Structure 1
Amino acid sequence: MNYRMVSLYDFCLTPNICMLKPMIIDGHNYSLVLELEKRYVVPCTVTRLMNRICASLGTTLDVTLNYSNSIFREVNVNSSKEENMIKLPIVLSVLNKPYIFFPTASPKKNHNTWILWQNFRGHSLIGKQGIGLHFKNDVYTEEQISFTTLSRQQYYASILYFRHMDNMLQQHYAESVLATVRNELFLVP
């Protein structure tokens, strides 16, 4: 298949992304970017691409994974409070708009694919090993992903989204109360 090539430094996070998938072309690692309207490749691993996305937002993949772990420790999804989960979704925020990506494998593995939860619409079984992935705008692709893993990741992504939004609302409320208190303290009678 011939895909348009986009430089790592020309790539940017958009709400149109559906999936970031590793692929090998002529023995080199590339990332296939599946968007709502187009498909193209970036000449780097998916992990490097995710690190680039995180860096452009002032964070790192490790920090986003630590944030996810803290959220899931709060909701007691882990069996042990000290245990870190390895296949957690991550949240990336741009101007208070969260992007929730969930991995299909351990996030730093070369074969891991990242799926943007907000554009994912569901899946269908294809034979014994295949899964059809359905996204917005009738975007469709077939992958070799475990049904159990995909279902669990969708569930975790929804928990992360709602917990993150709750945290944002609590922070906004706390800042609003603090601003009101400051204004009332410094008012001259």
Structure 2
Amino acid sequence: MSKKNHQLLSYTVCSNTYALLPYIDGHRNWTRVIEDRSEFIVEESVYKIISSSCRFYRGSLESATLYSQKAIRVKHKPPVIIGEYYGSPLIFFPTHSPKNRDSVWFNFDAVELIDSEDTIKGSLVHLSNGISVPLDVSPIALRNQHSFAGSLRRFFRNSQQIHKQQMVYLTKRRYPPRAQHPMD
């Protein structure tokens, strides 16, 4: 990866974003972004990218965290819905506390497999684009994080279904068929 040709000043997470990894350049904390078909460096921290992406989708990381904590009852390192992308939740989960500069964030939909890695005493996260990310994090902890993200998706989908059913009910009650006028 040529740093000179692939460096951005800011970035917004989207469905093509697979992982955000800390990238230390001297004393600066930047981000290595892995997308479905590309990889590049962004001159912002992972935390700042996650926070600003939540704002882009008309929310905040704080409100996304509270929603997740309430929905799936996970207080420590909960996955978050960064935004809704064409009706689907854009769910990311962290490997550490969100403000921790070593935290890596993964797109729930991009993770194919979480393997144990004996050579690094940690995990190897296989992404759906064929890239594998080695981490010094327990595979059990990562699998739990991934599972929590799946629970958050189910909660979100169930909430969508309930909302749709309520809207159909309200629409039927609010707008009954129009009675015919006696002159018709």
Per the normalisation by structure 1, the TM-score is: 0.86
Of the candidates 88, 95, 112, which is equivalent to residue 86 of structure 2? Answer: 95
Aligned partner of 1:7 in structure 2 is 9
| Percent pairwise identity | 21
Of the candidates 90, 100, 104, which is equivalent to residue 109 of structure 1? Answer: 100
Q: Hey, what's the Cα distance between the residues in 1 that align with 2:179 and 2:70?
A: 43
Q: Hey, what's the Cα distance between the residues in 2 that align with 1:46 and 1:137?
A: 21
Q: Hey, what's the Cα distance between the residues in 1 that align with 2:143 and 2:110?
A: 15
Matched, 1:142 2:134: yes
Check whether the contact 1:36–1:139 (CA below 8 A) recurs between aligned residues. no
Of the candidates 76, 88, 96, which is equivalent to residue 86 of structure 1? Answer: 76
Matched, 1:39 2:43: no
Check whether the contact 1:89–1:100 (CA below 8 A) recurs between aligned residues. yes
Q: How many equivalent pairs are there?
A: 176
5+ long unaligned stretches in structure 1: 79-84
Q: Hey, what's the Cα distance between the residues in 2 that align with 1:56 and 1:173?
A: 29
Aligned partner of 2:122 in structure 1 is 130
Aligned partner of 2:175 in structure 1 is 183
- Which residue identity does 1:89 align to in structure 2? P
Aligned partner of 1:27 in structure 2 is 27
Deviation per CA, 1:3-58: give whole Å up to 9, x if none: 310121xx232222111111211211101111121111111111110011001000
- Which residue identity does 2:70 align to in structure 1? S
Deviation at 1:68, TM superposition (A): 0.2
- Which residue identity does 1:96 align to in structure 2? G
Bigger Cα Rg: 2
Q: Hey, what's the Cα distance between the residues in 2 that align with 1:2 and 1:51?
A: 27
Aligned partner of 2:72 in structure 1 is 72
Q: Hey, what's the Cα distance between the residues in 2 that align with 1:87 and 1:121?
A: 20
RMSD in angstroms over aligned alpha carbons?
1.6
Check whether the contact 1:124–1:133 (CA below 8 A) recurs between aligned residues. yes
Q: Hey, what's the Cα distance between the residues in 1 that align with 2:101 and 2:13?
A: 20
Deviating 4+ runs (over 2 angstroms) = 11-14, 186-189
